Every structure is written in C-alpha cells, then in structure tokens.
C-alpha cells in the first residue's frame, strides 16, 4: 500500500479488507455494502463510488474528498482508500503533483514504477500475510502515467498546508537529500518513530526466541542456567533466570497474560536507562554468539537515540550518512513496516545521494511551508 499522510493509505481494490475503515473507488467494487454485512465486520465503509469523478462530485471537489479522509482519520485512526487501476492512477498523480511541485513527469513515472515494483516484490512473501495483489494486473502497470500527470491539476496547496499533515518518510527523506529543510521537524519526528519501532521489534523478537529456547540445553550452557531455573507456569518465564534478567524486567517488557495481549509484549523503549541498554545489548550479543549470527554491534550503536523523546538534527545527520554509505542500507525500518512504505524508493534515494545526483534529487523536493 502507498502511504499518503497521517494514517491514510491507498492500495488496489483486489486487496479490500472489510475489517478496515475504508473508501472504495472502483468501477466494479465501489458499491454499497449489505446491511447484514456491515455489522459482521469491524471496519466501516465510509464512502464509495465507481470513479474518481463520482467521488469528486460527492465532496464538491478533490480537496473536499481528501479533507473528509483527513477528518475521518483524525477520529478513527487508520484509513484505507481502495482503488481500481484507473482510480489509483488518477489519485496518485493528483497527490504527487501536489506534494512534489518540482517533479517532472519522468520523476513521477519513476516513483510510481518503483512503487509497483515494491508491491510485486512483497505481494507473495510473509510481509503480506493476507489479501495478496493480482500480480498480472500489477505487471501491466497503471497506463499513461505521464499523460495524466500533464493534465491533472494539483490540490489547493494553501489548504493542504493548513492541515499540518504527517507526510510519508520517503518524501521527507527526498526533500532532505535535495538540500531543503522546510519539513525538517516532521522528518526528525518520523524517523525517530521508525527507529523506535526498529529496536522494539528487534528486542521483542530476540526475547521471544530466547523464551522458545529456554529448554534448549545449548542455550542453557552458553548463557549459564539450567532447566531447574525455568518455571514454565510463570507469567514472566524469565523470572529467576539470572543470565536472562534483562528480559525479565517488567518495566521494559510489561507482562499482560490476557487473551488479546499475550505474555510476550512489545517492549517499552522510551527513556530506557543506559544501564538497561547495556544489559540488553550484552544479552543479545551472547545470544547471537552461540547462534552464530551477525554481531549485533553493527546496528546497536543507535539504541541510545531511539530511547529519547526527540532526535536532534546532528544525530539524524550522523545516522543517515552512515545508512547511505552502508553496504546493507539497513535504514532502521522495521520489517513489519516494509508493506506500509515505499521502501524500494528509499533505497533509490540512497543511491541518488551516494552518487551526488543533485539534479534528480531536486525533483523530489516537497512543497514549501512558508
């Protein structure tokens, strides 16, 4: 799916999930939902139409439509806009023409081509557990992207500015690499959000792996505990196992053994003390050593930034320079977010920056706030 702003995403109509709050613009599927089904699913069909023009008419213009989406997102959280190929083409060109006023038709074509490539890559992987997209349709592309870009009008940018939207990380990075700082505060806050998620996902996975292997004698020997130290009936299974004490810390990993939470919760990373950071890093290093995995020190050096409430410009500069020049281009994007962003486009931006292609990067500058 393609992130537009805040918690609003757009994707194709063969991917419709009725458990989401959604708009549907599709010649085939843009229809009302049977009343009986409305109460069956958790999500709400917020509006629907058979075409972009029909949706535009409902809201007295496209700015009215996007404003309705924005307001619904403010109150409901995540919103999906499901489109057939024609509606997707029209909406994405309108949106990108508004967000990227310096982009030409080649730059927009490149952005969309990379997005479709990204969707094809993840469509049949574990990153997309359900509702995989029609690859045949994806492979055929969206049609005349350049033609639509030339004739589409942009949205009222002054109105857009007044909404103070949280924009996509890939567009914020594009502006940064282009040498502009209009949305610097948004960039720093958004990157910190992903950085936090990255470390929370990593430590949560490491903790779960250690829990699943508590009775593994190799793990016991390498870490220095025995089966007698393990209480299989404990809510916190690490309690009383000294070498695994960092994973037993209830302030970091709050145990909620209820039906919908599970005993192994995502960690609380905010304001983590330096002592607890060190203890966690030392523990996962031991786990990596006996499992023969890559030394975690290669990506642990920014944990101290992830625990903070704000990220400074100098800290971000250091991290992003390191990331651009890294052979793996780790990016500090958690795996579960790969389907929510145009990750492949971020890698394209890294390559442009590494090659110092300022002309191409300049096309991906966002609109100015002032």
Neighbours of 231 (CB within 10 A): 14
Q: Give residue 46's pLDDT.
A: 95
Residue 11 burial by CB count (10 A; 0-12/13-18/19+): exposed, middle or buried? Answer: buried
Q: Give residue 39's pLDDT.
A: 66
- 3 state DSSP class of 74: helix
* Phi, psi at 312, each rounded to 5°: -80, 160
Residue-wise pLDDT for 282-337, tens only, equals 999 988 877 766 666 677 889 999 999 999 999 999 999 988 987 665 688 888 88
**DSSP H or E segment with residue 58:** helix 52-58
* Phi, psi at 25, each rounded to 5°: -120, 100
**DSSP H or E segment with residue 21:** strand 21-25
Separation CA 326–CA 298 (nearest Å): 10
Please, which pLDDT band fits residue 41 given cuts at 50, 70 and 90?
confident
Ranking 78-82, 98-102, 263-267 by mean pLDDT, the lowest is: 263-267
Region of 164 please: left (phi>0), alpha (psi -120 to 50) or beta.
left
Check whether 263 has a pLDDT greater than 90.
no
Q: What is the pTM of this model?
A: 0.88
Residue-wise pLDDT for 280-289, tens only, equals 999 999 888 7
Residue 99 burial by CB count (10 A; 0-12/13-18/19+): exposed, middle or buried? Answer: buried
Separation CA 56–CA 62 (nearest Å): 5
**What are the sequence ranges of the domains in the chain?**
2-165, 182-343
Q: Give residue 53's pLDDT.
A: 95
Which structure tokens are listed for 363?
């096309």
Ranking 40-44, 65-69, 187-191, 240-244 by mean pLDDT, the lowest is: 40-44
């Amino acid at each position: 799916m393609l992130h537009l702003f805040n918690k609003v995403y757009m994707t194709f109509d063969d991917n419709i999930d009725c458990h989401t709050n959604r708009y549907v613009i599709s010649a085939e599927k843009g229809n009302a939902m049977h009343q009986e089904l409305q109460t069956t699913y958790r999500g709400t069909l917020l509006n629907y139409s058979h075409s972009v023009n029909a949706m535009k008419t409902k809201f007295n213009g496209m700015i009215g439509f996007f404003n309705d989406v924005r307001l619904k997102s403010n109150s409901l959280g995540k919103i999906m806009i499901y489109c057939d190929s024609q509606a997707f083409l029209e909406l994405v060109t309108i949106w990108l023409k508004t967000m990227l006023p310096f982009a030409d038709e080649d730059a927009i074509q490149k952005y969309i081509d990379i997005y479709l490539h990204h969707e094809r890559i993840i469509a049949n992987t574990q990153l997309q557990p359900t509702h995989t997209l029609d690859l045949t349709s994806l492979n055929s592309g969206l049609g005349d992207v350049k033609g639509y870009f030339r004739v589409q009008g942009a949205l009222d940018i002054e109105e857009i500015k007044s909404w103070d939207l949280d924009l996509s990380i890939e567009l914020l990075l594009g502006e940064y690499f282009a040498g502009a700082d209009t949305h610097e505060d948004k960039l720093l806050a958004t990157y910190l959000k992903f950085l936090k998620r990255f470390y929370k996902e990593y430590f949560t996975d490491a903790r779960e792996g250690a829990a699943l292997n508590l009775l593994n004698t190799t793990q016991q020997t390498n870490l220095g505990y025995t089966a007698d130290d393990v209480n299989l009936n404990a809510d916190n299974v690490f309690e009383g196992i000294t070498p695994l004490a960092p994973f037993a810390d209830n302030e970091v990993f709050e145990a909620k053994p209820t039906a919908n939470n599970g005993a192994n919760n995502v960690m609380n990373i905010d304001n983590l003390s330096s002592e607890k950071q060190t203890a966690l890093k030392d523990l996962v290093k031991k786990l990596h050593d006996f499992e023969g995995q890559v030394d975690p020190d290669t990506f642990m050096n920014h944990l101290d930034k992830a625990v903070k409430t704000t990220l400074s410009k100098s800290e971000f500069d250091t991290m992003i320079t390191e990331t651009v020049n890294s052979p793996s281009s780790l990016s500090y994007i958690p795996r579960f977010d790969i389907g929510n962003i145009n990750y492949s486009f971020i890698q394209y931006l890294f390559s442009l920056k590494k090659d110092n292609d300022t002309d191409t990067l300049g096309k991906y500058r966002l609109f100015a706030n002032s």
